[in-house]
Amino acid sequence: MCYHLKNRNGNTQAVIDDNCGISKFYAIANALTKQLQVIFLNQVDDSENLNWDFNYKNQLLTLHYSTFEGVSIYPRHVAKSEIKENNAVLEVSQFLERNAY
């Protein structure tokens, strides 16, 4: 079950799984690619974090993995996001929740 957080800028972060391995991140990325037809635009990988940007309904979102925080999705913009971006985060997280991620 995922849960949603708000940061100080009012952006929604959907935590898909806060205690998982990297294989779950790749399974989620695969589900987004195959079932929602998203294309990852930018993939930044380092030793402890993965940040993969993608468009969903014309909203730029980030699929994030951290060895300490698990997998989450949030709007790409650091500053205050629009309602459309936050709604897109919620929609993608609900899709993942329905598909048992």
Would you list the domain boundaries of the chain?
3-98
- 11 or 92: which leads in pLDDT: 92
Class of domain 3-98: alpha beta
User: Can you give the pLDDT at residue 81?
Assistant: 61
The mean per-residue pLDDT over the stretch 8-20 comes to 84
Is residue 70's pLDDT more than 90? yes
Is residue 101's pLDDT more than 90? no
Going by pLDDT thresholds of 50, 70 and 90, the confidence category of residue 80 is: low
CA distances for 33 relative to 26, 30, 37, 79, angstroms: 10, 5, 5, 27
User: Can you give the pLDDT at residue 1?
Assistant: 57
Q: How far apart are CA 80 and CA 101, in angstroms?
A: 27
pTM of the model: 0.87
- Residue 89 tokens read as 């985060």
- 3 or 66: which leads in pLDDT: 66
Query: DSSP assignment of 3-71, as one string?
Result: EEEE-TTS-EEEEEESS--HHHHHHHHHHHHHHS---EEEEEE-SSEEEEEEEETTEEEEEEEETTTEE
The string over 27-45, giving b where at least 16 C-beta atoms fall within 10 Å of a residue's C-beta and e elsewhere, is ebbebbeeeeebeeeeeee
